[in-house]
A and B are shown apart, each in its own frame.
Chain A
């Protein structure tokens, strides 16, 4: 399984863009990159998933360079409610019972 490395924590201010980079040097050909958000005492919530280039949804954007050895989650114009832990996961989605391994996560603190 590809291991992921993320910054432990990041601070930001309301209205700013937050970019979290995840390193996954050993990513395999079949692996997809997925980001989850977790608030205290809640289960993680899916944010976005991608394989290569750029993916955007109503919540975030995911940038993946051609070598796929890293990825960057971009949260536009964060608010206080975006304070959470963000996890980058890499896994093969093709098999049923997808085995995903959570990395350490990045604690994002949004300040007023």
Chain B
């Protein structure tokens, strides 16, 4: 199973709402990532969790709050977002083996903030 799943596929929220994005993988990977991708732009790294601990935060505003409840799950809690936060949010996971490290991406959650 080389699949990363993300829910929901689409999300519309107001600026005062609180919502969460979920990501799940069952590949035994110990590194998980959140990326943000605006239209016609490359994905931008937001957070990295390594062995369930936050290892990289790319200066992301506090209205985005990541959480890694266990090695298979990654959440992104959203609160008081702005319209400019509308984007495709991608989750990925990876686990080094002896030959290469590959990041496996989920299909993404398309977020619209009104």
Contact = CB atoms under 8 A, between A and B. Distances in A.
A44 B31 contact: no
Contact of B43 (A45, A93, A96, A102): A102
B56 to A, nearest CB: 6
Given A43-B4, A46-B102, A102-B43, A97 B107 contact: no
Nearest to B31: A97
A44 B96 contact: no
A42 B110 CA distance: 10
Nearest to B48: A97
Interface residues of B, number: 29
B31 A96 contact: yes
A36 B56 CA distance: 22
Nearest to A85: B42
B106 A43 contact: yes
A33 B51 CA distance: 24
Contact of B56 (A41, A94, A99): A99
18 contacts: A42-B107, A42-B108, A43-B4, A43-B90, A43-B92, A45-B105, A46-B103, A93-B101, A96-B30, A96-B55, A97-B50, A97-B56, A98-B101, A98-B103, A100-B103, A102-B43, A102-B44, A104-B42
Interface of B: 4, 30-31, 42-45, 48-51, 55-56, 88, 90-92, 94, 96, 100-108, 110
Interface of A: 32, 34, 36, 41-46, 49, 87, 93-94, 96-105
